[in-house]
Structure 1
Amino acid sequence: MSVPLQPAELYRHSLRLLLNKAIPAWVDLWAEDGLMEFPFAPPGWPSRLEGREAIAAYMRSYPDHIDLQDIPDLQIHQTAAADTIVVEMRAVGRLVETGKPFEMTYIAVVTVQDGRFTSYRDYWNPLAILEPGANFAAAGR
């Protein structure tokens, strides 16, 4: 019997999967009833995804739109709740459709139970989609 990964370990593993464009394996890290939220999502964009299937549908085409290449800045903070972490990170890559650089900073509050993501609140910056030339709408957001 294997010991489930702790929240910080699971999160680092999930980033490796995203960098390798292994979306089905990334989705497998989620609890069946996992909840992904985007509190700052602009109008017309999803703000809440309920269940692994909804998360899978949302992420399925991510590599077709964003070529994620590196996470050069990553800080994981443990909270008073052992199953919850706060993540600060910066992701870089390129937009597949245009070839333009992609860079986004994130803060996420992530809860893990039994080695699976159960809650992920992604506080990404919606102002970035308003920058000239930015086209994140096609990126699955």
Structure 2
Amino acid sequence: MTEAGEKTVATTGEVIEVLREAMETGDDTRFIAQFAEDAVYETPFVLDGQPSRLEGFETISKVLGAEHLMKKLLEFQKVSVQVYPAADHEVATAQFTIEGKVVAGGDSFVLPSSVGIIRVRHGKIVHYTDYTNILRGAQIAGVLKQFAESLVQ
């Protein structure tokens, strides 16, 4: 039982649920607000020349809050997440799946979008390693050819 006035902090599972809701509603501000001031966000599967490690809330906010092409191409309607807690209560693996429609044409899609290893401390994300399914996302959005051409330039 907590004392009156004592604030409880979100668990790792609760923070992941907020991420899911923010993805589903397109609320980038709420998504980014889950990161701690000294957080690290890593995306190991990136191309040369792209940042694979973002450090600090300000940098994470700037990059993740930027307008991305995929947001213009895909409409998210439902985001599901499977959470696999680790032995360390601060850590969980989250497997996200997105259902939606392709903006140009209206085709429905189901995208196993990413697997993230997320560490939450004091109710905020301190480390997030995001293994994003970039190729399948580009295929669904109809830009796989353009994506592939960008790899050889």
Aligned to 1:84: 91
Any conservation in 2 of the 1:17–1:23 contact (CA below 8 Å)?
A: yes
Which structure is higher in helix share?
A: 2
CA offset at residue 111 of structure 1?
0.2
1:2-23 deviations in Å (ceiling 9; x for gaps)? 2111001111012112222221
In structure 1, the partner of 2:151 is none
- State the Cα deviation string for residues 66-87 of structure 1 (Å, max 9, x = none): 4322124x21011111100011
Which residue matches 2:64?
Answer: 59
What fraction of aligned residue pairs are identical, expressed as a percent? 23
Q: Could you tell me which runs of 5 or more consecutive residues in structure 2 were left unpaired when the two chains were aligned.
A: 1-5, 148-153
| Aligned residues between the structures | 136
- TM-score for both structures, normalised by structure 1: 0.79
CA contact 1:30–1:116 (8 Å) conserved in 2: yes
> Alpha carbon RMSD of aligned pairs, Å?
2.7
Are 2:133 and 1:134 aligned? no
Residue of structure 2 in register with 1:117 after alignment = 125
TM-score, length of structure 2 as denominator length: 0.73
Among 8, 17, 21, which residue is 1:16 paired with?
A: 21
Larger Rg: 2
> Aligned in 2, Cα 1:131/1:45: closer, same or farther, shift over 3 Å?
farther
Residue identity in the other structure for 1:36: Y
Q: Which residue type is aligned with residue 124 of structure 1?
A: T
1:93 corresponds to which of 92, 95, 100: 100
Q: Read off the aligned partner of 2:95 and give its amino acid letter.
A: E
